[in-house]
Chain A
Amino acid sequence: MLLVEDDAGIAQEVSAELSGRGFSVVHAATGPDGLDHAMSGAFDVLVLDRLLPGLDGLAVLERLRAEGVRTPVLVLSALSAVDDRVRGLKAGGDDYLAKPFAMEELAARLEALLRRPPETRETVLRAGPVEMDLITRQARRAGRSLELLPREFRLLEYMVRRPNQVLTRDMLLEDVWHYRFIPQTNLVDVHIGKLRRKLDPPDETPLIQSIRGAGFLLRVEE
């Protein structure tokens, strides 16, 4: 992956952390430098700071997209303004993360970008023992029907599309409920808790796992 970030401290921490997670990280400190690297197309994912010396992050992104480089890009920014996020995504970014961020959050989002679920026309989704019919809105675990509310169905569908992948609270808020702000309470935990009680009865192997400091994960046999 390519990290374009001008702050040496953050760049070092991010590189070290991601290398530890098995990423091979190339670091560029300026916009033009980052653009040169990115043009090679040799990266699976890009992390692009919004404010860069030489060439603004969004300008780099627009240039890349104009040149037809399709590499997924995660835009980093110290500006948390909602409009800024919209602009980042409009310029061709695939995800957006405001500083300060947790490493777990960054790692989970990069993972998600690398393992984006394929566009599928399937109307039945499967992940391990879980089976979901998108037409009849029926969900089953190992043949046992689950009585899910619409909101629980949506949440499970999102997880089933991304099995064995860490999903952070912010990702769930943004993608499942289209929330653009951080609620004052542990809203996501409560929703997961409800779903968990229906999906994972005490006598069966729990499918939804909590990942300490990160979020949740639907653990299934591949």
Chain B
Amino acid sequence: MTGRIRSAADLFGTATFRLALGSSVLLAGVALLQFSLIYWRTTQYEVERADRLLDREAALMAAQDPADLREQMRLWATNDLRLLITAAGLFDADRRPIAGNLRDWPEALPVDGAIREITVHPLDQGVRTIRAEALPVPGGRVLVIGRGLRDLQQIRSITLDAIETAAIPALLFSLLAGAWLSRRNLVRVGRMQLAIDRIMEGGLHERLPVRRGGDEMARLAGSVNRMLERLERLLDEIKGVGDDIAHDLRTPLARVRAGLERAVLHPMPADGLRAAIDRAVADLDQCFSVITALLRIGEIENGRRQGGFSVVALREVAAEVVELYEPLAEAAGNRLLLDHGPAGSLRGDRDLLVELLANLVDNAIKFTPAGGTIRVAVLVRDQEPVLRVADTGIGIAPSEREAVLGRFYRSDKSRHVGGSGLGLSLSSAIARLHGARVVVSGADAGSGAVFEIVFRNETMP
């Protein structure tokens, strides 16, 4: 694949070119319509003018006596009235010509004073189309007067000229512009394809070329680049999680190995041996708890449990968790309080919501020094049910707020605290399953941490 254009079919097959072609055809159609309209209206005007003129002259003539009429015919033939009446003929009762430039009786013209379009061959001109009328005049004779539509023919040729000199070049220009634009786009698309090929070959750091100016293709390329960035970050995260798992499993496993090896190599009394084995079992249990928690997170994130949702009263969940954890808080020298708010309820999985809150409370108790207070509250804010756990512990620095919900995260301060390190990750996975968001705040170091689970309003039954 290259950035070059392979064939004319490529060039003319692009959307840009088709668009240009389409708009050119449309443009030509509109121009044609416009000129036709102009032509038609002018013709109409010209015909009306001729007809009015003929009517006026005919009315005048009908009243003339024969001598005057003949004189009039001569005048028409010589002076500028010729501009008005271009064909005239005076015929006797037997339709023989008496005077004027019309020598042949026009058969197509009934003698009724109505104006018709006929073709004649006047003496001093070629064959032409005229508006004419025949009317009886005194003495049993018939007068034919007519006005040629020469102007009309001129208008027609002007119109055609205009189309030739304006519309056709415009059409050509727009087709050429279309071809040029389409070539330009093809080149750009070609470059993007090259970049995509490189990405597909594993160059995830590669990005699509984005031209300055921000046209729609640049915007698209920008979106694709943002998507690539997100994917790259996700992949890094997955890799990071893999590393974390490896690390969190390796440490206890290494301890197990070292402990057992020492027990084998160095003779020790039975209770020493027993203690070594107990430590090994405890370390293995730690590994299992990490694996179990990871599997649970996976299971919850797959969202398969939504089928089991029912109406859950948040206050009951909170009361249950507080009752369960109160002795634990007390043992740690802290107070665990439940603030009664309005009863928020929502559709959810009760067991999972208990687990969610339990993990938050557990976490709060762990990170609150003796003498502190942990408050659990159920409230409704902006019609959204909220579960809130606030403590007076070491708090979470703003830079760490996002990370605490990630897998395995423990701030350096907490490395010595037990647990799988996945409690908050589990809580955050459960929150996501319920369409809720987790807000970590109030967390300038030292002033305690506040975790809020904000449920969606529409989950209210």
Contacts and interface: CB of A to CB of B under 8 A. Distances in A.
B328 A185 contact: yes
Given A80-B292, A80-B296, A193-B331, A184 B324 contact: no
Contacts of A98: 292
Nearest to B298: A81
Contact of B355 (A80, A81, A180, A191): A180
Nearest to A79: B295
A102 B289 CA distance: 13
Given A80-B295, A81-B295, A83-B305, A182 B324 contact: no
Contacts of B363: 184
A184 B359 contact: yes
Contact of B325 (A81, A100, A187, A194): A187
A183 B292 contact: no
B419 interface: yes
B296 A83 contact: no
Contacts of B366: 184-185
A190 B331 CA distance: 7
B272 interface: no
Residues of A contacting B: mostly: loop
Contacts, number: 59
A158 B399 CA distance: 47
Contacts of B304: 83
B351 A185 contact: no
Contacts of A151: 323-324
Contacts of B327: 190-191, 193-194
Contacts of B419: 184-185
A81 B299 contact: yes
B278 interface: yes
A82 interface: yes
Interface in B358-376: 358-359, 362-363, 365-366
Contacts of B296: 80-82, 181
Contact of A180 (B292, B351, B359): B351
Contact of A182 (B289, B305, B323, B351): B289
Residues of B contacting A: mostly: helix
Interface string B285-304: 00011001001100100001
B295 A190 contact: no
A187 B288 contact: no
B420 interface: yes
A23 interface: no
A190 B419 CA distance: 16
A99 B323 CA distance: 30
Contacts of B362: 183-185
Residue among A82, A151, A194 with most chain B CB within 10 A: A82
B148 interface: no
A177 B418 CA distance: 23
A183 B418 CA distance: 11
A102 B308 CA distance: 30
Contacts of B100: none
A213 interface: yes
A119 B276 CA distance: 44
Contacts of B354: 179
B89 interface: no
A216 to B, nearest CB: 15
Nearest to A98: B292
Contacts of B358: 181, 183
Nearest to A184: B419
Contacts of A185: 328, 362, 365-366, 418-419
A180 B358 CA distance: 12
A143 B191 CA distance: 90
Contacts of A177: 324
Nearest to A178: B351
Contacts of B288: 100
B178 interface: no
B348 interface: no
Nearest to A150: B323
Interface string A98-111: 10101000000000
26 contacts: A80-B296, A81-B299, A82-B351, A83-B305, A100-B288, A102-B281, A177-B324, A179-B324, A180-B351, A181-B296, A181-B351, A181-B355, A181-B358, A182-B289, A183-B358, A183-B362, A184-B363, A184-B366, A184-B419, A184-B423, A185-B418, A185-B419, A187-B324, A187-B325, A193-B331, A194-B327
Interface of B: 278, 281, 288-289, 292, 295-296, 299, 304-305, 308, 323-325, 327-328, 331, 351, 354-355, 358-359, 362-363, 365-366, 418-420, 423
Interface of A: 80-83, 98, 100, 102, 151, 177-185, 187, 190-191, 193-194, 213
Given A82-B299, A185-B419, 5 more contacts: A80-B292, A180-B355, A184-B366, A193-B331, A194-B327
Per CB-CB distance, the 6 closest pairs between chain A and chain B, nearest first, are: A184-B419, A190-B327, A180-B351, A190-B328, A184-B423, A181-B355
